[in-house]
Amino acid sequence: MTTQPFAEAVQFNDYRAPAQTAQGETPLQLEDAADLPVTLALEVGRTRIPIRGLLQLTAGSVIELDREVGDAFDVLVNGRLLAHGEAVMVNDKCGVRLTDVIRPEERTRNTGS
């Protein structure tokens, strides 16, 4: 005797794009997200090593990366490539000067890999 799988219709709420908001509602604006925190990271380079090699690393170990000395860093925001930059000193701190900002239409296709 086989049992029939149970299925039930699902009701979805109507989606309204910002231009179609109900009377009295305000569409979302870029300013609404301006204060949300994001993670900004600078990537000097990458490499792949086996876990055995990772476990053997000690202070003073050198890891060869996929970039040449003097190559630009990747500037990533939440893991997506935003720009390229170079290291600079700002007072007594390290900083980055942006040398190339990725066009917005390219950012949506790029994951920073």
Domain ranges within the chain, ordered by starting residue: 29-107
CA 86 to chain centre: 19
Q: For residue 78, what is the DSSP state?
A: T
Rounded mean pLDDT, 22-32: 69
pLDDT > 90? residue 51: yes
Res. 25: pLDDT tops 70: no
pLDDT of residue 52: 96
Fold of 29-107: Surface presentation of antigens (SPOA) (2.30.330)
Write the DSSP symbol of residue 51.
H
Q: What percent of the chain has pLDDT over 70?
A: 70
Tokens 């476990």 belong to which residue? Answer: 55
**Residue 76 CB: number of other CB atoms within 10 A?**
19
Is residue 99 within 8 Å of 66, Cβ to Cβ?
A: no
Tell me what pLDDT residue 33 has: 80
Percentage of the chain beyond pLDDT 90 is 42
**Residue position matching structure tokens 């935003």:** 82
In this prediction, residue 106 has a pLDDT band, given cuts at 50, 70 and 90, of confident
Q: 51 near 60, Cβ under 8 Å?
A: no
How far out from the chain centre does Cα 91 lie? 28
* Sheet containing 73-77: order of strands: 40-43, 73-77, 80-90, 93-101
For residues 27 and 41, the model is more confident at 41
Instruction: Determine the pLDDT at residue 22.
Output: 61
